[in-house]
Structure 1
Amino acid sequence: MSLVINDLHVDVLTEDGPKQILKGVNLTINPGEVHAIMGPNGSGKSTLAYAMAGHPKYQMTSGSVTLDGKELNELSVDERARAGLFLAMQYPVEVPGVSVSNFLRTAKTAIDGEAPKVRTWVKEVNQAMGALGLDSSFSGRSLNEGFSGGEKKRAEIVQLQLLNPKYAILDETDSGLDIDALRVVADGVNRYTGQGDRGVLLITHYTRILNYIKPDFVHVYVDGRVVTEGGPELAAKLEETGYDAYIAAARANA
């Protein structure tokens, strides 16, 4: 019942042809574990997220990613979601004309294979939004259209709570959040992980969110691969020293 990344290599499709970004990533997330991936900008953290979710521009060229033994590269994007994978995007897309409520209901129906019961579903949606500090009228707005950065990130966590996947990839969910919004979003993630059998891959390059979401493991990511890993104390070390030493070591070993 684990999410296993084994020697993963990924190319991104550019105007000049494929460009290798991931160069052999190994990582295993078990149920109930929170893993933080930290690293400088441009190191390939978001590439990992997009490749796992099935973005067509990111191609797995070798290695594997399996969820409960299922090879993700053999599944379409919607099949990956039904298998239990969720991606909270760094830059959520605006979808004019599609209300938050319609989007959530459609997504829930697609994941579960049947529509949620209207009476209980409306209550669940309102509870989830209220827990994230969003008014019930928020559900009538077009998805992400005109949302502030904080509203977009809160809406992503509402989706996380209602869809309740087995594994969640959170791609820089902390970016653009003030301290109050950060706490609200972190509380939402902690409610999700508090179930005890849900796994999280938290991608960030700042340690502040780790003050509110405690990771079991921290992985330092440089130049498309994990260069070192440890516990929460590694994040505290990075706060003091930064990434320069890891970048220099990666260049020396290239």
Structure 2
Amino acid sequence: MTKFEIRGVRADVLIGAEKREEILKGVDLTINSGETHAIMGPNGSGKSTLAYAIAGHPRYEITEGEVLLDGENVLEMSVDERARAGLFLAMQYPVEVPGVSMSNFLRSSVTAVRGEAPKLRAFSKELQETMGNLSIDSSFASRGVNEGFSGGEKKRHEILQLELLKPSMAILDETDSGLDVDALKVVSSGINRARAANDMGVMLITHYTRVLNYIQADYVHVFAGGRVAESGGPELADTLESEGYERFVKAGAAK
């Protein structure tokens, strides 16, 4: 039983060499094994800042609070240690890594997380099966990581990593953005498979309710003003769809 706890987290974004701005202003959230928590909110509310700060991006500095994964404070770990502990981040804008093939990148990642190199033949079979499930052509295994990929292909590659690395806690930063309906269904199916196979907890950051038609959220949290403004069940997403974020933004500004 995995428990992921964000306790009183405040964080700054570093702007240039000396300037900084506080974005997160006291975030509290707990996610247990097998639960999916949708984080919704307007642009600039701090959703992506929360994701990158937890993952250890150098531009974001957590100034207060703690982030616990099964009681261990991940903020005291290096970025690679966080990954080995079971934390995974799917990025909103996956980067290209020219000259490094997908297959080599993925096998190296799996080796680092699992603690030993998988047998080449077994890994090749696992990779091809997982790529097939995500409708990724087998020729992509020899291409540079995300090099020349479309937006949808990059997002499928993120979920390919998710399925192979088998984390206990996944943070998915707008994985649904830029996807057409067919790609959204494929990506959502991959997330659902990974969650079911590993009893994985999911923090699903999104602007839109359409992804929740394919990924069932147990809880929905509205992010505004750098904090969780309101939490509820899946029905809260329907309220946001019909009413928007305005009242939450106003409430956050008043605090």
TM interval, short-chain normalised: over 0.9
Between the aligned partners of 1:52 and 1:196, the Cα distance in structure 2 is 21
Structure 1: runs of 5+ lacking an equivalent:
none
**Normalised by the size of structure 1, how large is the TM-score?**
0.98
One-letter amino acid matched to 1:21: I
CA distance in 1, matches of 2:182, 2:210: 12
Q: Distance in 2 between matches of 1:190 and 1:56?
A: 30
**Counterpart mapping for 1:131-170 below 5 A:** 131-170=133-172
CA distance in 2, matches of 1:56, 1:233: 36
Select between 10-19 and 212-221 the one with higher mean Cα deviation. Answer: 10-19
Counterpart CA distance in 1 for 2:69 and 2:159 is 21
Q: Write the distance in 1 (CA, Å) between the matches of 2:251 and 2:225.
A: 11
Structure 2 residue identity aligned to 1:2 = K
- Residue 20 of structure 1 and its aligned partner are, at CA, apart by 0.4
| 1:128 corresponds to | 130
CA distance in 1, matches of 2:136, 2:92: 20
Scaled by the length of structure 2, what TM-score is found?
0.98
Which residue number corresponds to residue 235 of structure 2?
Answer: 233
Query: 2:67 & 2:53 partners in 1: Cα distance?
Result: 10
Matches within 5 A, 1:84-233: 84-195=86-197, 197-233=199-235
One-letter code of the match for 1:232? Answer: P
Paired positions, count: 253
Letter in 2 for 1:7: G
Identity among equivalent pairs (%): 64
Deviations 1:30-60 (A, max 9, x none): 0010000000011010000001100111111
Name the residue aligned to 1:82: 84
Equivalent residue in structure 1 for 2:248, among 246, 249, 252: 246
Q: Is 2:2 the partner of 1:5?
A: no
**How far apart, in 2, do the equivalents of 1:113 and 1:96 lie?**
26
**Counterpart position of 1:41:** 43
**Aligned-pair RMSD on alpha carbons?**
0.8
Give 1:196 shift.
5.9
Secondary structure in structure 1 of the residue aligned to 2:44: coil
Deviations 1:108-154 (A, max 9, x none): 01111110111111010001111010111110110011100000000
* 2-structure distance, mates of 1:74, 1:144: 30
SS of 2:99's partner is strand
What is the CA deviation profile of residues 159-183 of structure 1, one whole-angstrom value per residue up to 9, with x for unaligned ones?
0000000000000000000010000
Q: Which ranges of 4 or more aligned residues in structure 1 deviate by more than 2 Å? A: none
Residue 153 of structure 2 aligns with an amino acid whose one-letter code is: E
Q: Return 124-133 or 8-17, whichever deviates more.
A: 8-17
C-alpha deviation, 1:251, in angstroms: 1.7
Q: Distance in 2 between matches of 1:74 and 1:197?
A: 25
Read off the aligned partner of 1:54 and give its amino acid letter. Answer: G
